[in-house]
Amino acid sequence: TLLSLEQRVTELEDLRPAVRVQDKAILKLRAELDKLRREFERRLEIDRLSSRIEDLKLKLELHTLPSFLQPAKMSTHVLYSSCRRGEVPVVGLEGRFIDFLVLNYPSIDYVLYSKKRFFGEKLLLRPPGTPTISKGMIIMEPTSPESILDYSEYQHGKYLLEKLVDKPVITLNGVRLGRIMDFVIGVQSRSLSILAVKVDLDAEISNKVGEKVILLPSNRISPEETHMLALANFIKI
Q: Answer whether residue 198 is part of any domain.
A: yes
Q: Answer whether residue 235 is part of any domain.
A: no
Residues 108, 185 within the same domain: no
Residue 117's pLDDT band, with cuts at 50, 70 and 90, is: confident
Residues 207, 157 within the same domain: no
Q: Which amino acid is at 182?
A: D
State the Rg of the chain over Cα. 26
Residue 22's pLDDT band, with cuts at 50, 70 and 90, is: low
Domain with 190, as residue range(s), is 162-230
Q: Answer whether residue 153 is part of any domain.
A: yes
Whether 179 and 167 have beta carbons less than 8 Å apart is answered as yes
Residue 13's pLDDT band, with cuts at 50, 70 and 90, is: low
Residue 217 DSSP SS3: strand
Residues 156, 188 within the same domain: no
Residue 101 DSSP SS3: strand
Q: Is the pLDDT of residue 214 over 70?
A: yes
Residues 32, 87 within the same domain: no
Q: Answer whether residue 8 is part of any domain.
A: yes
- Give the model's pLDDT for residue 229: 95
Residue 144 backbone class (left: φ over 0; alpha: ψ -120 to 50; beta: rest): beta
Residue where one domain finishes, among candidates 136, 161, 186: 161
Q: Answer whether residue 56 is part of any domain.
A: no
State the Cα–Cα distance between residues 34 and 114, nearest whole angstrom.
68
Q: Answer whether residue 156 is part of any domain.
A: yes
State the Cα–Cα distance between residues 181 and 85, nearest whole angstrom.
14
Residue 129's pLDDT band, with cuts at 50, 70 and 90, is: very high
Q: Is the pLDDT of residue 99 over 90?
A: yes
State the Cα–Cα distance between residues 52 and 60, nearest whole angstrom.
12
When divided into structural domains, the chain yields a total of 3
